[in-house]
């Protein structure tokens, strides 16, 4: 059996355990720092919206030897005052994107780009998206995301309870914020592929969280009928039992996504692969983290505020304190009994000496039958 498999069996049997729930304040602090960094990156850089959302034009050239930097230098000043983004595709062609341009402006810019790059105008493939259509797509994406969040919360509240629904919702928002923040920091475009990746990430994160919650539900069944463990301790035990499964699932999911990101996007230069793969890669890692370090500890925090669970915690702690006092008293009682036994032994020995055989005095008839020395 491999080391990881052996570790999983030991975690499931409870032979070893990592105190995730007990150190929840540490994990909360780490998550807050990461989230703040993502928010700062989003506020400073902002999201780079693709033309599908902002409107604009994309010009795809045929295969050319012109590099990305050379193309950007040559078309500078001929983009109608708008910022241009140039990307070298794996096929050797160039993808030139210019946002916020009208149809008439796009036609003029297309002709100028063809002249600048020494290409025929009819060899350039233009794709023009109006700003009104892009705004409509943006609204639909936001609406779909909100509906997804609401349905997820309702489902979890019915399947489990409202505390777990809140914890899962916080974990989803955590994953979404980090993923969007990374997009802002890296500077990747937000395209429909990005939205698809985000929805996939949220679904995967929810799946991992539900697996942990299902194990927690079984572990804490009839919890108030015992006085050995608190809710937080049983939640931590349940989390340890599913830990290796969560890690294995995440690693297996990250490997192909990493191939999409670094091979498909980096080496082949496929723009759509970049958009989907980055959101998936960051979101999957954040989802695995939130399922382990955020969702379950937050459920434990919320449950400990329940009157029955709080009363259980008091009983468990009181029982442990009583057991500790009893354990301390037992050695003292044993020592006192040992001292008492030693004293009793001495008293018995003394009593035995008193009651033992006594020395007889000299016999009065000691000289009887001896010669008296008298002469007869």
Burial (CB count <10 Å: 0-12, 13-18, 19+), residue 361: exposed
pLDDT digits (tens, 9 = 90+) for 188-229: 778 777 887 887 877 777 888 888 888 888 888 888 888 888
CA dist 123 and 108 (Å) reads 15
What is the average pLDDT score of the chain? 77
Of 248, 249, 231, 266, nearest in space to 89 by CA:
266
Max avg pLDDT among 64-68, 89-93, 163-167: 163-167
Sorting pLDDT into bands at 50, 70 and 90, what band is 251? confident
* Helix runs in the chain, H state only: 3-13, 24-45, 51-54, 68-74, 103-117, 131-159, 162-186, 192-219, 231-241, 243-259, 271-290, 296-303, 307-354
**Per residue in 248-275, is it b (16+ CB within 10 Å) or e — as a string?**
ebbeebbeebeebbeebbeeebbbebbb
Q: For residues 376 and 220, what is the distance between their CA atoms, to the nearest angstrom?
A: 117
- The predicted-structure confidence for 9-45, as pLDDT tens digits, reads as follows 665 565 667 888 888 889 999 999 999 999 998 888 8
Average confidence (pLDDT) over 36-55: 83
Coil/strand/helix, residue 135:
helix
Ordered domains of the chain (ranges, CATH): 3-49+133-314 (1.20.1640.10), 56-129 (3.30.70.3400)
Q: Evaluate if pTM is beyond 0.85.
A: no
- State the average pLDDT over residues 153-175: 88
pLDDT recorded at residue 257: 82
More confident residue, 334 or 158: 158
Quick one: pLDDT at residue 32? 92
Query: Which positions ≥6 away from 324 have C-beta within 8 Å?
Result: none
pLDDT of residue 131: 62
């Amino acid at each position: 059996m491999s080391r990881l498999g052996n570790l999983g069996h030991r975690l499931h049997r409870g032979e070893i355990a990592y105190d995730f729930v007990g150190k929840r304040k540490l994990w909360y602090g780490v998550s807050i720092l990461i989230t703040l960094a993502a928010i700062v990156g989003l506020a400073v850089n902002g999201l780079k919206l693709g033309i599908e959302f902002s409107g604009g034009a994309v010009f795809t050239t045929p295969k050319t030897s012109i590099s990305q930097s050379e193309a950007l230098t040559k078309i500078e000043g001929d983009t109608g005052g708008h910022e241009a983004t140039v990307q070298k595709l794996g096929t050797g062609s160039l993808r030139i994107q210019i946002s916020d341009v009208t149809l008439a402006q796009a036609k003029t810019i297309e002709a100028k780009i063809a002249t600048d790059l020494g290409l025929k105008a009819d060899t350039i493939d233009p794709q023009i998206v109006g700003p009104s259509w892009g705004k409509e797509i943006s609204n639909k994406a936001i609406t779909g995301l909100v509906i997804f969040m609401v349905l997820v919360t309702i489902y979890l509240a019915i399947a489990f309870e409202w505390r777990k629904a809140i914890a899962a919702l916080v974990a989803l928002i955590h994953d979404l914020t980090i993923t969007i923040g990374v997009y802002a920091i890296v500077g990747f475009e937000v395209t429909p592929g990005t939205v698809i990746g985000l929805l996939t990430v949220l679904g995967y994160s929810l799946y991992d969280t539900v697996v942990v919650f299902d194990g927690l539900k079984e572990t804490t069944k009839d919890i108030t009928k015992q006085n050995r463990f608190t809710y937080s301790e049983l939640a931590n035990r349940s989390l340890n039992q599913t830990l290796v499964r969560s890690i294995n699932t995440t690693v297996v999911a990250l490997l192909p996504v990493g191939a999409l990101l670094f091979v498909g996007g980096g080496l082949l230069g496929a723009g759509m692969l970049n958009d989907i793969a980055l959101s998936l890669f960051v979101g999957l890692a954040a989802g695995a983290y939130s399922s382990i370090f955020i969702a379950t500890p937050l459920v434990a925090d919320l449950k400990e505020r329940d009157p029955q669970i709080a009363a259980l915690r008091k009983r468990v702690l009181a029982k442990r304190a009583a057991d500790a006092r009893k354990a301390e008293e037992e050695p003292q009682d044993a020592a006192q009994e040992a001292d008492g036994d030693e004293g009793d032994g001495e008293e018995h020995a003394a009593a035995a000496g008193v009651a033992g055989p006594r020395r007889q005095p000299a016999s009065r008839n000691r000289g009887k039958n001896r010669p008296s020395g008298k002469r007869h």
